[in-house]
Amino acid sequence: MAAAPVAAGSGAGRGRRSAATVAAWGGWGGRPRPGNILLQLRQGQLTGRGLVRAVQFTETFLTERDKQSKWSGIPQLLLKLHTTSHLHSDFVECQNILKEISPLLSMEAMAFVTEERKLTQETTYPNTYIFDLFGGVDVHRMIAEFKLIPGLNNLFDKLIWRKHSASALVLHGHNQNCDCSPDITLKIQFLRLLQSFSDHHENKYLLLNNQELNELSAISLKANIPEVEAVLNTDRSLVCDGKRGLLTRLLQVMKKEPAESSFRFWQARAVESFLRGTTSYADQMFLLKRGLLEHILYCIVDSECKSRDVLQSYFDLLGELMKFNVDAFKRFNKYINTDAKFQVFLKQINSSLVDSNMLVRCVTLSLDRFENQVDMKVAEVLSECRLLAYISQVPTQMSFLFRLINIIHVQTLTQENVSCLNTSLVILMLARRKERLPLYLRLLQRMEHSKKYPGFLLNNFHNLLRFWQQHYLHKDKDSTCLENSSCISFSYWKETVSILLNPDRQSPSALVSYIEEPYMDIDRDFTEE
């Protein structure tokens, strides 16, 4: 945690402002720049430098900006909460502050249990966005030191996931079919807490107990791979106690959840956040040994889940669970052991490529890695796995590529579908590695003509790639997530995009070489939405 700015009345620090505060104000004695604070906070959280939380501002500054920006006093409350949240602080004061914050977030939290509970823009949930942006869930060290995770683990069965009677209070606040209730809200907020606690953070291993941490070490030792540094650095005095850790308890609950449950989406998201980031074989095997892959496939194939939200969360989780893991693909093939089951699985994937594209990306990346390995176990999986055989076919890859590019446009890009652009780039980057990029572009051109709209797809892709450059290269967007999820250096991502956008019509790897002159429409200006 960054040190708080020195109080105005304290000795040598009198009258000083932190460097971050000065920058936000636009220099000594300046006025706050509209919109500049939120931008700097988000950039600071992505880069780990500069502004990252409310404690880096003075209360006077936050109050002044709150009048203009209408932040509902949340940053000031977070500043007070931070200064009172220490081992020897007055916890009654902490409780009073939390009581002030809670009503500001509760109505927005209730909205997450409706059918519209998707990842949304900050304007949809302004208080939640400001709470997060100014370090409200910062997202770990402080709450870990207070042994929050062992406490939640002990309360899991007794309070959080106990069975409730059918007469439990239900609040029909949205419509007659709304099933919002204090019980449902508590459980969803608990799942969101687990998700935020473990997402891209080494403290995620506090969700295990000592025996489970030893199991991770044993998995690494057996596979002859180094232990994850975060596992070695985990403070074992802060992990879960009891026979099972929180993650294992969550998996047990997940398996028992009814098909129509409101919680399936958030359960899958919470488990996926544990896997997200740099792929860890030990983490994957820990979950595979507990039957997670079979449970996901049962929900996708045997129950033929219809909810798009749940399907997307299952596909994302399945992709993280299987990526680069030959044992996972063996288990997949053992479960999907008939052509009929495989066709149902493909039907679910193809029903909405926006929802399943992350799985397509993970399988494509895994195939590429397996093909470059000399190992009997890998060779066996390559020869037997239906999914790998399906993805390995050029017509299959071209079909996915064509549809991924066709379903997104610069004007309609959202947080939900922008991943389709990166998945299409992964397919082309791997083709470039094999010196097949011109072949794939030529096939896209032929597919355009066969669909009776020549130039439309490639023009659209050209605009999307220009957007990609603006999005990732000129606004300090975090590129590590692309590297971690693909194990492809960001420099290779950038090079591939530059090659595709080369204006030279003689280049065999440039998009313009495959757009006939009468259909050229790539010079229009556009702005990032």
**What is the per-residue pLDDT across 186-212, written as a single tens digit (0 to 9) for each?**
788 788 878 877 775 678 899 999 999
Residues 326, 377 contacting (CB under 8 angstroms): yes
Picking from 149-158, 297-306, 351-360, which range would have the lowest pLDDT averaged per residue?
A: 149-158
pLDDT digits (tens, 9 = 90+) for 436-455: 999 999 999 999 999 888 88
Please give the average per-residue pLDDT across 260-287, as a whole number.
90
**pLDDT (mean) for 350-362:** 94
Which two structure tokens, joined as six digits, stand for 31?
A: 């006025």
Strand runs labelled E in 195-240: none
The amino acid occupying position 44 is: G
What pTM did the predictor assign?
A: 0.75
Q: Cα 427–429–430 angle (5° rounding)?
A: 65
pLDDT-above-70 percentage for the chain: 72
- β-partners of residue 209 are 240
What local confidence, expressed as pLDDT, does residue 114 receive?
A: 37
What is the model's pLDDT at position 502? 96
Give 409-473 as a DSSP string: -GGG--TTTHHHHHHHHHHHHHHHHTT-HHHHHHHHHHHHHHTT-TTHHHHHHHHHHHHHHHHHH
Q: How far apart are the first and last CA of the chain?
A: 34
Q: Which phi-psi region, left, alpha or beta, contains residue 520 (left: φ > 0; alpha: ψ -120 to 50)?
A: beta
The pLDDT value recorded for residue 306 is 84
For residue 240, what are the β-bridge partners?
A: 209
- pLDDT at position 72, please? 78
Distance of CA 115 to the CA centre of its chain: 20
pLDDT at 11 over 60: no
